[in-house]
Amino acid sequence: MSVSAFTPGSSDRDQLMQQAVKGRSLWDDARRRLLRNKAAVASMIVLATLVVIALLGPFFVPYAYDTVTKTDVWATPGTRGHLLGADSLGRDLLARLFAGLGVSLGIGVVATAVSLIIGVAWGAFAGYIGGKVDEVMMRVVDTLYSLPFIFFVILLMVVFGKNIFLIFLAIGAVEWLTMARIVRGQTLSLKQKEFIEAARAAGLTTPAIILRHIVPNLLGPVVVYVTLTIPAIIIAESFLSFLGLGVQAPMASLGTLISNGAKDMEMAPWLLIWPSATMVVTLMAFNFIGDGLRDAIDPKDR
């Protein structure tokens, strides 16, 4: 048998080369690096567990989060069917913890999505157009940065009343500013690249270039920033709820549970311990995932 019989054909060589190139792609390499990060993987498992608990947990608790039972006021953990105890109104802490976790995660995700849409669109357009348009758009960002966050939220509450959707609006309307600056800086460097010049030469319109070429190449830093924005928004919502400006009763969030637990800490310390521990675990999971993504995507660490 001739040696040539063992030599792969041109199609086989092309396939092997494509597989080799594909194996060295940015996203495949980033995924492998992320999966090698034990803290990030463990945090993803913890976060997935928290999401499942927030979605399905209320169906396995015999009490509703707003059910008031006068005979169960400050029931200790494990008594009268209250696994984690009850609060000053006899409401089951476990049911309220599940509800509060779902509300806090929902606010974090929705407000981050709002800031993501506005910030990416604003920053990419300003950075790509440049000139006076960029100058005016970024001065708007600087002006909004100068407004105190609490003042902005109180103003919205006074004008529109206390509503959970205003929390999404208020927090998202502030958090997109940093996103816009990050995206603008990345866009300024991307628009000088050869593939952008080729897109212009091909006759693509400005919106098409931004959507097809600019935004996809921003996904790395944007994804990392999103994982760090969600815990920041959860903390902001908790701070507002602690001040009485966030989620209103009988609805609960981690912030309201911590606020109520702090008031009754001497009588019922479990009302503060469990919400605080849930908050710490949630924030740590997001932060470890964000750090893992940053290390996996950062080209300087490759």
The C-alpha atoms of residue 255 and residue 276 are separated, in whole angstroms, by: 9
Q: Is the Cα torsion angle 181, 185, 188, 190 positive or negative in sign?
A: negative
* pLDDT at 75 exceeding the cut of 80: yes
Residues 254-276: tens digit of each pLDDT: 888 988 888 888 888 999 999 99
Average pLDDT of span 274-287? 93
Planar angle of CA 165, 168, 169, nearest 5 degrees: 90
The C-alpha atoms of residue 177 and residue 152 are separated, in whole angstroms, by: 14
Average pLDDT of span 193-199? 85
What are the structure tokens assigned to 227, written together? Answer: 């994982």
Phi and psi for 146 in degrees, rounded to 5? -75, -15
The C-alpha atoms of residue 108 and residue 237 are separated, in whole angstroms, by: 8
Question: Rounded to two decimals, what is the model's pTM?
Answer: 0.81
Of 274, 271, 270, give the one whose Cα is nearest residue 260. Answer: 271
Is residue 207 reached through a cis peptide bond, with omega within 30 degrees of 0 on the bond before it? no
State residue 27's pLDDT score: 67
The C-alpha atoms of residue 89 and residue 63 are separated, in whole angstroms, by: 13
Partner residues linked to 79 by β-bridges: 82
What are the structure tokens assigned to 299, written together? Answer: 């080209």
Tell me if residue 109 falls in helix, strand or coil: helix
The C-alpha atoms of residue 5 and residue 94 are separated, in whole angstroms, by: 69
Are 35 and 41 a contacting pair, CB within 8 Å? Answer: yes
Average pLDDT of span 275-297? 89
* pLDDT at 160 exceeding the cut of 70: no
Could you give all domains of the chain from N- to C-terminal order, each with its CATH number? 38-65+83-301 (1.10.3720.10)
State residue 161's pLDDT score: 64
State residue 25's pLDDT score: 60
Residues 167-186: tens digit of each pLDDT: 677 777 777 888 899 899 88
Of 109, 110, 112, 120, give the one whose Cα is nearest residue 181. Answer: 120
What are the structure tokens assigned to 293, written together? Answer: 């993504």
* pLDDT at 41 exceeding the cut of 90: yes
Tell me if residue 128 falls in helix, strand or coil: helix
Partner residues linked to 92 by β-bridges: 86
State residue 91's pLDDT score: 92
* pLDDT at 291 exceeding the cut of 70: yes
Of 163, 179, 155, 275, give the one whose Cα is nearest residue 230. Answer: 179
- Per-position b or e across 192-223, b if 16+ CB within 10 A of its CB: eeeebeebeeeebeeeebbeebbbebbebbbe
Are 112 and 226 a contacting pair, CB within 8 Å? Answer: yes
Whole-Å CA distances, 31 to 22, 37, 147: 13, 10, 39
Whole-Å CA distances, 293 to 112, 282, 286: 17, 17, 11
Quote the DSSP letter at residue 79: B
Average pLDDT of span 289-293? 86
State residue 99's pLDDT score: 93
Question: Three-state secondary structure along 230-287?
Answer: HHHHHHHHHHHHHCCCCCCCCCCCHHHHHHHHHHCCCCCCHHHHHHHHHHHHHHHHHH
Are 237 and 167 a contacting pair, CB within 8 Å? Answer: yes
The C-alpha atoms of residue 109 and residue 225 are separated, in whole angstroms, by: 13
Residues 96-124: tens digit of each pLDDT: 999 999 999 988 888 888 888 889 999 99
Average pLDDT of span 42-57? 94
